[in-house]
Structure 1
Amino acid sequence: MNTLSRRGFLAASAATLSAATVPSLLLPVRPAHADGHKVITAGKRIIEVKGKAANVFGLTQADGSSGLVMNAGENFRVRLNNLIGEPTAIHWHGLTPPWQQDGVAGISQEPIPDGGSHDYDFPVARPGTFWMHSHFGLQEQLMLAAPLIVHDPAESGQDVQEVVVLFHDFTFRDPQEILAELKAGGHDMSAMAPAPAPAAGGHEGHDMSGMSGTAMGTGQSSHDNMDHGAMGGMQMGGGQMAGMSHLQDVQYDALLANDRTLDDPEVFAVEPGGRVRLRLINGAASTNMWLDLGKLEGKLIAVDGMPIEPIKGTRFEFAVAQRLDILLELPKEAAAWPVFAVQEGGRMRTGVVLAAKGASVGKLTEMADEDFPAVGADLEQKLRAAKPLDEKVVTRKHTMMLGEGPNYAWTLDGAMHGQDKPLAVASGDRFELTFMNHTTMSHPMHLHGHHFQVVAVNGKRFAGALRDTVLVPANMGMVTIAFDADNAGKWALHCHHLYHMAGGMMTSMAYND
């Protein structure tokens, strides 16, 4: 009861504080109109993390619910109100709207000023587990994100309970301060692990403000006749050998599941013997995770909202910005079953609990019993799309070099965002894009406005999953994706590690027609 009352006090305090300190919050918020627009408000919140109050952002509807739930076949008719005290732009991650409604500041729209609003209206054809998040500055680290669930009307009669969980990595520090330290001092070298074998070190990342430059030089931008093996001799600054990878840039205070730690996890009431569909979203700014079902075995049925041929397991790789849909057939005994998300290369974890009526929920520790390895491409190579892309002649190919430079510079084809040249595409193209990673870290690469199929890892071809975000392993890892150019416009293409993107690892893809 104390925890609940404390949460209620924090929520009330947040409302009082916001109204008193931010003049824009005194502006009237326009309700949903008769034309069917739902209102989502980007606003300020106070949550509790490890007994301390934390100021964060959020995306909520008028009833206080986080994010949005809708049906495929409906129009995404949303008015977004910005009440966070600064400009913002919100991206509908996984949806394929007209490009002007994609919500990316500097590419598809101007930022929404504080106190302003912006209307969106476009059809949503595909069901799936998607999400919405800020695409402006470092606001995503401050939890300006929420689930975006699109149901399949054909599945409305199924006897399956849905559990939606949004995971975050949380820090009490100012993200701008963290980025400044990264640019001044390079990487945290305590989180190094050998490659290509999965890392097993239990070190947590640290923001290193006193280190000299430790970044690898940028990769070559001319790559048509490149000797891939020649890259093995590249040296990293600071005396570190090539062939080493590191996993964390930032030391986090906690991992969160639906805003909560394992000190006070969210408990979902479930029926023994029932079926549960977990809709899981890795909304972390920079932490790849493992999804750990503990004593349960689950059936992975979709990734990034797109159906796959089911795969059974108890642990699944879960990179930044990716989503996992897992179907559970619960045991018939009345019990409590924790579901964990664990950081790669360490033991820090968070989670939720599925509990039958009357079951005892014991205390859960925030550290796993063992170190979890690096997240790589093992699961990726096992996934197969339920409905792969049609066979089609590839009309355009490009190999994009992922590079790393001094002062926390991250590049695509040798250029940081702002000096980059958009990737050219034409309507009707079947495009194959290969990401080649010359850096010491993995990169979750996200293409806006399209779903792509993973068709090769390290040159090995297969008919992999349809996705919108794929992890490219460190130290010369290669992933090839294929997609149809069927949504004309100008689209963001970037690493979804927030600080890598802020450090320059972002470009665009522009249709020439």
Structure 2
Amino acid sequence: MNRREFLAAATGLAASTFIASPFGKAYAAPQRQKLTISTRTLDVNGRAATVYGLTGADGKPGLTIEPGADFAVDLVNGLKEETIIHWHGLLPPVEQDGVPDNPLPMLKGAETRAYDFPIHAPGTYWMHAHTLQEQNLLAAPLIVHSQDDRTADRQEIVVLLHDFSFTPAEELLAKLTGGNGGMHHGMNHGAMDMGTMDMGAMSESMGNMHGNMQDMGAMGSMAMDLNDIDYDAYLANDRTLDDPEVHQVEKGGRVLLRFINGASSTAFSIDTGALSAKLVAVDGKPVAPVAGNLFPMTMGQRIDLALDVPSSGGAFPILALREGAAQRTGIVLATAGAMIGRLSALADQKGPVLDLALEQTLSATNPLAQRTPDVKAMVHLTGDMMSYRWQMMGIEDLALKGGERVEFSMMNMSMMAHPMHLHGHDFQVVAINGRRFSGALRDTVLVPPMQTLTIAFDAGKPGHWPFHCHHLYHMVSGMMVHLPVA
């Protein structure tokens, strides 16, 4: 059997020792696709859990789109309740972006809605509800292949991470807010109350702190809040590490791992263990390869890791370590006949706290063209755990024109990290704490406590584009604005 025959066989593997991934998608001729929102039942730690699902016509989670094809999808709401799906990382016109009432309403039960728009670039994307339904696993991979993907001599594995709770999202939010709840569906259209804060003085103070990064780092490590919620389970492709998904790989073979952090409020670090990997793309956009074994990813982000399986073979756990905690999840890569040991969902030590060490080493292979910004603004990220009210201030009255080069410096004045996501645009990271560099192209980036990160982008299609924290409970509690582009 040659390697290509092996990869074809591995895709359909269903032996008792190995669990074939339901996230593996076979290539098909480009055509209009049907995507159905439904419910399904999972076994989570020996207990049945009813969750949402997003399945294609083949009954498998998510969508795979062929090279050069447009996005042509009929979305069917098979639920009795209303919902809507956001195509995270794609750049549709605003009416197809999938945010409630921006401008289209949610899909009613049994309603079908057609989505048609060009795809701007291949890569690892995903789709999810832009409501609290996201917490109950209303999310799935969305992979857009390139011609190179189709001809590459490698095995491709998609891994979608989740945090899971048997407690409904509304109850989780009520506990965080003291029963005051959050903004309905995360839509905060109103003006933000800046209270009595002296933003100029606070900005000056923050600028002074940036001059001494050691003091600032010590301050963050002492006081920062890492996790709002302790979940019942952490999942990789719907499975816990006590019963992980196992992928048979070839001795000496090459593997591309597409990781998606679909968790609502949990950051992870991907640990490739005994296998050295190369980070080759973030948020679907290629970067100059970075070698390593540990790769951070906050909520909403994606990373593509290329690795080689040793010719000697074996079993290789690929783990997702919960930030600042012992919980972990993941998958196993194993060659034929390899012994696969038991893996505990609890590690002996806590997962790393995410920082920007990796971010400041990344560089896009296709960066934005050099331009002088037409618009520059400071975005203050504020809030606290006690009141559980989160805000974005400084750009409330901003109006953009299509084609303008925009630079936002996001200053995190809270003690929680914020994964910031901009709809309808790719942006480039161009500065961290005032140090300029040509960083990665992204759609979601982490801003740690008491740090400032600057992004640049070209204002795109007309519309009111959501710009928000991708921590679900921060978003619905106020950390979301809409950027008008004319």
Q: Same fold (TM over 0.5)?
A: yes
Q: Any gaps of 5 or more consecutive residues in structure 2?
A: 1-15, 20-29, 181-193, 210-218
Question: What is the CA-CA distance between 1:36 and the residue it aligns to?
Answer: 4.5
Evaluate the alpha carbon distance shift between residue 429 and residue 223 of structure 1 in structure 2; reply closer, same or farther with a 3 A threshold: farther
Per the alignment, residue 174 of structure 2 pairs with 180
Equivalent in 70, 73, 77 of residue 72 of structure 2: 77
Q: Which amino acid aligns with 2:458?
A: D
Equivalent in 112, 116, 122 of residue 117 of structure 1: 112
TM-score, L = length of structure 1: 0.81
**Matched-pair contact (CA < 8 Å) for 1:72–1:125:** no
Per the alignment, residue 437 of structure 1 pairs with 412
Evaluate the alpha carbon distance shift between residue 175 and residue 219 of structure 1 in structure 2; reply closer, same or farther with a 3 A threshold: farther
Q: Which amino acid aligns with 1:339?
A: I
1:468 paired to 2:463: no
Per the alignment, residue 215 of structure 2 pairs with none
Task: Tell me the alpha carbon deviations over residues 297-332 of structure 1, each in whole angstroms, 9 at most, x when there is no partner.
Answer: 000000000000000000011111100100001101
**Matched-pair contact (CA < 8 Å) for 2:51–2:137:** yes
Superposition map of 1:388-467 within 5 A: 388-404=367-383, 407-413=387-393, 421=396, 423-467=398-442
Question: What is the CA-CA distance between 1:429 and the residue it aligns to?
Answer: 0.7
Q: Which amino acid aligns with 1:276?
A: V
Task: Tell me the alpha carbon deviations over residues 210-261 of structure 1, each in whole angstroms, 9 at most, x when there is no partner.
Answer: xxxxxxx9794754994134897xxxxxxxx986101000011111000000
Per the alignment, residue 184 of structure 2 pairs with none
Superposition map of 1:14-29 within 5 A: none
Per the alignment, residue 6 of structure 2 pairs with none
TM-score, L = length of structure 2: 0.86
**Matched-pair contact (CA < 8 Å) for 2:374–2:404:** yes
Task: Tell me the alpha carbon deviations over residues 98-136 of structure 1, each in whole angstroms, 9 at most, x when there is no partner.
Answer: 111100112242111111111100111300000000012
Per the alignment, residue 227 of structure 1 pairs with 204
Evaluate the alpha carbon distance shift between residue 493 and residue 257 of structure 1 in structure 2; reply closer, same or farther with a 3 A threshold: same
Superposition map of 1:64-143 within 5 A: 64-136=59-131, 138-143=132-137
Question: What is the CA-CA distance between 1:492 and the residue it aligns to?
Answer: 0.7
CA–CA distance in 2 between the matches of 1:142 and 1:104? 17
Q: Any gaps of 5 or more consecutive residues in structure 1?
A: 8-34, 187-216, 233-240, 415-419
**How many residue pairs end up in the alignment?**
436
Equivalent in 325, 335, 341 of residue 346 of structure 1: 325
CA–CA distance in 2 between the matches of 1:73 and 1:108? 28
Per the alignment, residue 199 of structure 1 pairs with none
Superposition map of 1:321-340 within 5 A: 321-340=300-319
Superposition map of 1:269-308 within 5 A: 269-308=248-287
Question: What is the CA-CA distance between 1:148 and the residue it aligns to?
Answer: 0.2
CA–CA distance in 2 between the matches of 1:225 and 1:397? 19
Question: What is the CA-CA distance between 1:376 and the residue it aligns to?
Answer: 1.4
**Matched-pair contact (CA < 8 Å) for 2:410–2:453:** yes
Equivalent in 478, 481, 486 of residue 504 of structure 1: 478
Evaluate the alpha carbon distance shift between residue 76 and residue 221 of structure 1 in structure 2; reply closer, same or farther with a 3 A threshold: farther
Question: What is the CA-CA distance between 1:83 and the residue it aligns to?
Answer: 1.7
Q: Which amino acid aligns with 1:148?
A: L
Secondary structure of residue in 1 paired with 2:484:
strand
Select between 361-370 and 250-259 the one with higher mean Cα deviation: 361-370
Task: Tell me the alpha carbon deviations over residues 55-87 of structure 1, each in whole angstroms, 9 at most, x when there is no partner.
Answer: 110100122111000124211111111123311
Question: What is the CA-CA distance between 1:393 and the residue it aligns to?
Answer: 1.3
**Matched-pair contact (CA < 8 Å) for 1:280–1:325:** yes
Evaluate the alpha carbon distance shift between residue 422 and residue 95 of structure 1 in structure 2; reply closer, same or farther with a 3 A threshold: farther
CA–CA distance in 2 between the matches of 1:358 and 1:219? 66
RMSD of Structure 2 on Structure 1 (CA): 2.3
Secondary structure of residue in 1 paired with 2:399:
strand
CA–CA distance in 2 between the matches of 1:86 and 1:218? 37
Question: What is the CA-CA distance between 1:155 and the residue it aligns to?
Answer: 3.7
CA–CA distance in 2 between the matches of 1:249 and 1:175? 13
CA–CA distance in 1 between the matches of 2:198 and 2:60? 46
Equivalent in 34, 39, 48 of residue 44 of structure 1: 39
Task: Tell me the alpha carbon deviations over residues 274-296 of structure 1, each in whole angstroms, 9 at most, x when there is no partner.
Answer: 00000000000000110000111
Q: Which amino acid aligns with 1:127?
A: P
**Matched-pair contact (CA < 8 Å) for 1:102–1:108:** no
Secondary structure of residue in 2 paired with 1:500:
helix
Q: Which amino acid aligns with 1:62?
A: A
Q: Which amino acid aligns with 1:447?
A: L
CA–CA distance in 1 between the matches of 2:200 and 2:154? 50
